[in-house]
């Protein structure tokens, strides 16, 4: 009788909780509609697909805003027996995913993929392209809300499986090799993570991270076993954000996929992984008091920053360079996780938002330069900054922002990261934090050399005969307008958030106050 009563109460809580899954329901409905549309009409319906995607994003954003407003009234309602935490942190990160989905969808409109042998099929005419994008966002939305070990694993796998398919959307040998490498590394990381999750369950007897028995069981477990469980679990998280030593897949994937997909990979899985770490890492580290979690994250952050920046120095392919840049930024994001307090969480969210704007703008510009030159080879961009001043100036602003220099939001983001780290060091006097601080500053200087490589070729290298002949077929007038409009739209936040950073800080303050 007691079990029946408990079950009935649990079912009532679950039914009440379904209203908090409307954004995810919108994504599922959009996937089904696009799939059926593609199957029924069997035509190249690029404009229809992008229209359906925009409608889905608008509905997704509507429910996110509605949830944000409801949370001011109801902060204590259990969501799916606490397996999902729909708080302002999750809603904010989901909003970033929706914004990325919109920009990548527009970026992919008219983009051609594949080699000449397969006919240069356009991305916007492939229904599976939009389905996989939506699948990644659906998994990412669940990742940033998950507090249940099984839900965490399923959400990460949904992101991974959709990403594996997207990785082969150039439909050539190089893309296939990159996709295969992604699958192999991803499978290994997934297996290790699953083993770690199973160890956590075996040591604690529960799958729910917020249960008192979870922290109690982990604290009473032998240090070796708890360390193995947490370490293996972190492998899956670190793989998603392409942190060293789980980063080797990123450069080949970014180079082998179409530019819109590379932009998508650089933002959504990474921010989802950071959001999951922001929620889960403090619970794991506080429960296993003997596990050197902060020391491990600090070491990984330093090695990730160094490896990403040093490797990027030697790259001439723009997308491959941004792949290593993305790895280096993972190190800076981990610094905010390392500072396990509200100031650290604050800096991570500001940095993640700025990183989204910077990376989307960078890949947008690479796509435009590729449209003009037919290549992603940086030396082939020589002289284009003088020929196309708007794109040249925009590229300079984006690269300065990625470096972390004023007057851009990239400077504010890095200032907050370093300030939170220095503040934590002064409070704890942990020497490791000082090492991370010094390494971070040193890597900011290193980044300057390769980020300014593209502006250097744009403005200070004169065009040669080969580059003159490469710029033969300009995009259509409508595509030129969309390119310029998108460029201005993406550059504005990078400048505005430097002078008016308090606008974004006010929103983040509402999130941190309830964490």
Q: What pLDDT shows up at residue 12?
A: 73
Q: Which among 413, 415, 283 is positioned nearest to 340, based on CA atoms?
A: 283
- How far apart CA 165 and CA 172 sit, in angstroms, is 13
- 137 with 30: CB under 8 angstroms? no
CB atoms within 10 A of CB 468: 11
* Domain enclosing residue 498, as ranges: 293-515
Tokens describing residue 74: 């109801």
- How far apart CA 440 and CA 434 sit, in angstroms, is 10
11 within a domain of the structure (yes/no): no
- Helix (H, G, I), strand (E, B), or coil: what is residue 339? coil
- Helix ranges restricted to H, 241-317: 249-256, 259-287, 293-312
- Global pTM? 0.90
Q: Which among 200, 195, 190 is positioned nearest to 240, based on CA atoms?
A: 190
DSSP string of 117-168? GGT--BGGG-HHHHHHHHHHHHHHHHHTTB-BHHHHHHHHHHHHHHHHHHTT
Q: Which among 387, 373, 266 is positioned nearest to 321, based on CA atoms?
A: 266
Give the N- to C-terminal CA distance of the chain in Å, as an integer.
38
Q: What pLDDT shows up at residue 62?
A: 93
- 338 with 354: CB under 8 angstroms? no
CA torsion through residues 150, 153, 154, 155, sign: positive
242 within a domain of the structure (yes/no): no
- 113 with 169: CB under 8 angstroms? yes
406 within a domain of the structure (yes/no): yes
In sequence order, the 6+-apart residues with CB closer than 8 A to the CB of 130 are 34, 49, 50, 52, 53, 105
Q: What pLDDT shows up at residue 121?
A: 53
**Where do we find the tokens 């606008």?**
503
Strand partners for 377: 317
- How far apart CA 474 and CA 246 sit, in angstroms, is 40
115 within a domain of the structure (yes/no): no
Q: What angle do CA 347, 350, 354 make, to 5 degrees?
A: 135
Q: What pLDDT shows up at residue 57?
A: 93
Tokens describing residue 31: 């996937």
Q: How many domains does the chain fold into?
A: 1
Q: What pLDDT shows up at residue 474?
A: 47
**Where do we find the tokens 């249960």?**
211
Q: What pLDDT shows up at residue 222?
A: 87
Q: Which among 206, 227, 228 is positioned nearest to 215, based on CA atoms?
A: 206
Q: What pLDDT shows up at residue 472?
A: 42
Helix-strand-coil percent breakdown of the chain, rounded to 5? 80, 0, 20
- 103 with 260: CB under 8 angstroms? no
Rounded to 10°, the helix 88-108/127-143 angle is 160
- 396 with 388: CB under 8 angstroms? no
- How far apart CA 181 and CA 187 sit, in angstroms, is 10
- How far apart CA 192 and CA 312 sit, in angstroms, is 29
- 412 with 354: CB under 8 angstroms? yes
Tokens describing residue 514: 């309830």
Reported as type and span, the H/E element at residue 418 is helix 409-428
- 186 with 239: CB under 8 angstroms? yes
507 within a domain of the structure (yes/no): yes
Q: What pLDDT shows up at residue 48?
A: 82
236 within a domain of the structure (yes/no): no
- 113 with 167: CB under 8 angstroms? no
Q: Residue 176 burial by CB count (10 A; 0-12/13-18/19+): exposed, middle or buried?
A: middle
Q: Which among 451, 493, 240 is positioned nearest to 354, based on CA atoms?
A: 493
CB atoms within 10 A of CB 185: 17
DSSP string of 125-139? G-HHHHHHHHHHHHH
Q: What pLDDT shows up at residue 511?
A: 79
- How far apart CA 392 and CA 388 sit, in angstroms, is 6
Q: Residue 231 burial by CB count (10 A; 0-12/13-18/19+): exposed, middle or buried?
A: middle
Tokens describing residue 231: 């370490």
Q: What pLDDT shows up at residue 295?
A: 87
The tens-digit pLDDT sequence of the chain (515 residues) is: 444 556 777 677 777 777 788 899 999 999 999 888 888 876 667 778 888 889 999 999 999 988 888 876 445 455 777 778 888 888 999 999 999 999 888 887 766 655 443 334 567 677 788 899 999 999 999 999 888 889 999 999 999 999 998 888 877 777 788 888 888 888 899 999 999 999 998 888 888 888 888 888 888 888 888 889 998 999 989 998 888 888 888 888 888 888 888 999 989 999 999 999 988 888 888 887 778 878 888 899 999 999 999 998 888 888 899 999 999 999 999 988 888 667 778 889 999 999 999 999 999 998 888 877 878 888 888 888 888 888 889 999 999 999 888 888 989 999 999 888 888 888 888 888 888 889 988 988 888 888 988 888 888 877 665 555 444 444 554 456 677 788 888 899 999 988 888 888 888 887 775 55
């Amino acid at each position: 009788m007691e079990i029946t009563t408990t079950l009935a109460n649990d079912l009532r809580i679950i039914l009440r909780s379904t209203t908090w899954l409307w954004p995810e329901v919108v994504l599922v409905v959009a996937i089904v509609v696009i799939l059926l549309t593609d199957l029924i009409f069997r035509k190249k319906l690029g404009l229809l697909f992008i229209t359906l995607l925009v409608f889905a994003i608008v509905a997704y954003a509507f429910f996110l805003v509605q949830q944000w407003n409801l949370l001011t009234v109801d902060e204590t309602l259990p969501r799916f027996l606490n397996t999902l935490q729909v708080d302002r942190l999750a809603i904010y990160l989901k909003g970033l995913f929706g914004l990325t989905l919109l920009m990548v969808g527009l970026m992919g409109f008219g983009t051609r993929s594949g080699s000449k042998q397969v006919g240069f099929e356009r991305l916007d005419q492939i229904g599976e392209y939009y389905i996989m994008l939506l699948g990644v966002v659906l998994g990412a939305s669940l990742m940033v809300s998950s507090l249940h070990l099984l839900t965490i694993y399923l959400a990460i796998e949904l992101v991974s499986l959709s990403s594996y398919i997207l990785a082969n959307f150039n439909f050539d040998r190089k893309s296939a090799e990159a996709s295969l490498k992604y699958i192999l590394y991803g499978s290994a990381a997934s297996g290790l993570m699953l083993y770690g999750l199973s160890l956590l369950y075996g040591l604690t007897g529960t799958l729910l991270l917020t249960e008192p028995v979870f922290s109690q069981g982990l604290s009473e477990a032998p240090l070796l076993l708890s360390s193995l469980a947490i370490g293996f679990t972190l492998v899956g998280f670190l793989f998603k954000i392409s942190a060293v030593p789980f980063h080797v897949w990123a450069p080949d994937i970014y180079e082998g996929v179409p530019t819109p997909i590379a932009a998508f990979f650089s933002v959504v899985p990474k921010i989802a992984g950071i959001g999951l770490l922001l929620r889960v890492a403090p619970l794991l580290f506080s429960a296993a008091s003997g596990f050197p979690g902060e020391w491990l994250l600090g070491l990984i952050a330093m090695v990730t920053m160094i490896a990403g920046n040093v490797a990027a120095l030697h790259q001439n392919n723009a997308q491959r360079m941004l792949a290593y840049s993305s790895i280096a930024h993972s190190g800076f994001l981990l610094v905010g996780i390392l500072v396990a307090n509200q100031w650290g969480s604050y800096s991570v969210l500001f940095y993640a938002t700025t990183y989204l704007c910077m990376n989307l703008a960078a890949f947008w510009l690479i796509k435009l330069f590729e449209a003009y030159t037919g290549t992603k080879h940086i030396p082939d961009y020589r002289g284009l900054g003088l020929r196309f001043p708007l794109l040249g100036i925009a590229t300079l602003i984006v690269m300065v922002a990625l470096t972390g220099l004023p007057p851009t939001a990239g400077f504010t983001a890095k200032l907050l990261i370093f300030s939170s780290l220095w503040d934590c060091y002064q409070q704890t006097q942990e020497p490791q934090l000082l090492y991370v601080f010094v390494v971070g500053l040193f890597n900011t200087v290193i980044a300057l050399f390769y980020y300014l490589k593209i502006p250097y070729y744009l403005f200070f290298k004169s065009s040669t005969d080969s580059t003159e002949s490469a710029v033969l077929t300009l995009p259509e007038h409508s595509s030129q307008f969309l390119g310029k409009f998108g460029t201005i739209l993406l550059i504005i936040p990078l400048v505005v958030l430097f002078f008016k950073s308090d606008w974004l800080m006010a929103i983040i303050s509402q999130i941190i106050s309830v964490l």
